[in-house]
Chain A
Amino acid sequence: MSSSTSVQTPLSVRSTDERRLPWYHLIFTGLAGLLVAVAALSIAGALSVASAILLGFVLHLLFGWTYSLVREGPRWAMDRLVTLLVIGAFAVSMFPLLSLLWSVISRGMTRVLAAKPDVLSFWTSDMSGIIGGADAGGVFHATVGTLLITLWASIISIPVGLFTAIFLVEYADQGWKRTLGKGVTFLVDVMTGIPSIVAGLFGLAVFIAFMPDQSVRMGIMGAVALSLLMIPTVVRNSEEMLRLVPMDLREAAYALGVPKWLTIVKVVLRTAIAGLTTGVTLAIARVIGETAPLLLTVGMVTSVNWDMFDGRMATLPTFINQQYRNGNANCMSETVTNPVNQEIYACSISTNIDRAWAAAFTLIVIVMVLNIAARMISHYFSPKLSR
């Protein structure tokens, strides 16, 4: 695969036509493509960075292919063209990621750092009394809500998910359990694809079916909805890890007369603990950013609510959505007065949008920290198996 060049070297003796071009000819054709693109676009009067890169890439494909066709023949020209296309596909996919991260970091971090009175106040203040275009407020209440709901979702999902994985790996080996195991594997796979909004509707439908008050919204409803999305992820990640535990270890334990459940707890789970932690962390990272289920089940408030079983809760994702929906604020005067504590804030038209970016920054930081933590755990703590 990557050694195809060395395979080809002896063939170059055959004729001069088949000689491979050095890789750096791509730089020249690339530059030529870009230059022609810039020239053509400035003549057409539509010059911009995006259009220059786009047209430049297309021209690069054309130039690279033509040059290779002349020097190397049609087969290698096709190979070059595909290589360029494939690299282009990767570059295209990196563009939204980098652009998104850049927007979130530049706009979000600016707002976080600009918070008054001190740098942390965006994370330590809530939205009570913040009206109109007041350039104040923060996400303390939303962060608390997100962490609480995710914690409860984890409390529900991790035991269920872990035991299901244990069932699939250790118990579903024969008879009716085997059949059940196959069914569970299939359903878990299908559950992975349940739309998040359907999970939200489920959380809502379960509670309003039993509650007299149809407009009831509670943190625990959100946790139930999220665990529907979290369980399949926990099962799949844990199952994979449990299967990696060598059979020899289990057999050794059985040979020493250790009962099955103790073997699972003391040998299998202990061997796989790093992988399990990684899997669970990734599952948490996945649900912590879910928005749609929480939109339906927990609603929105402006101040902290610590009680999972009473009243609405704010969460970071729904906060982002709400602030984004509010759009630009109206600024009738220079300042806005907080009706609760009579504090006076400057008025800013873009205050809602800024808060949305800053909350998105907070959320991305949490998700990335979880992802990196998961990688580090699996990297440093996994047992070094010989496979």
Chain B
Amino acid sequence: MSALFDELPVILGAFWLTLRLTLATAVAALVLGTVLAAMRVSPLGVLRTVAATYVNALRNTPLTLVIVFCGLGLGLVLDVSFSESLSVNYLWLSIIGLSLYTAAFVCEAIRSGINTVPIGQAEAARALGLTFIQNLRHIVLPQAFRAVIAPLGSVLIALIKNTTIAAAIGVAEASLTMKSLFERHQEAVVPIFLGFALGFLVLTLPVGLLFGWLARRLAVAR
């Protein structure tokens, strides 16, 4: 147990990185996923095809592959660089990989939300003279989001856990830190594991509760 307390600053630091990875990815994936969902319902066939292909490709590729590609493929081979510091660079590359992957799931959640909005809502907006983009922005997407808050919560929980894959390219988030602590404190692997597992619960459980509450609170009465 003492190992756990001795290493508390290290552990908290690792979870702080996990949290930053999660937040940065969540914002990027929400934006990209929304754009993809808009493309999937757009009147232009080519946009629909591009978005559908993207979703099918990313949703069906293992996240580890995506992260390793971003880290080694983009980072090492293609020399994509965001920072002089190697660790900061890999952090950004892992955010890119996580965002590209998570956006596919966000897109599908939002698209199912769009399907719950009655067609008359969009027709009334068109009849007022709103353009396609205005219609999505003011009428369809706000109602679609409210319908899929709970599923988006699940995507966020999955994302929090998926950040551990960034360990594959050496980002020192919680799981990689746990691995190095195992090596340093071989007598205490069980408490260390339990500590990290508890740390993830502290992050994920409130998300589930918060999104469930938001879903009930923001539901659209019809």
A and B interact physically: no
Name B's A-contacting residues (CB within 8 A). none
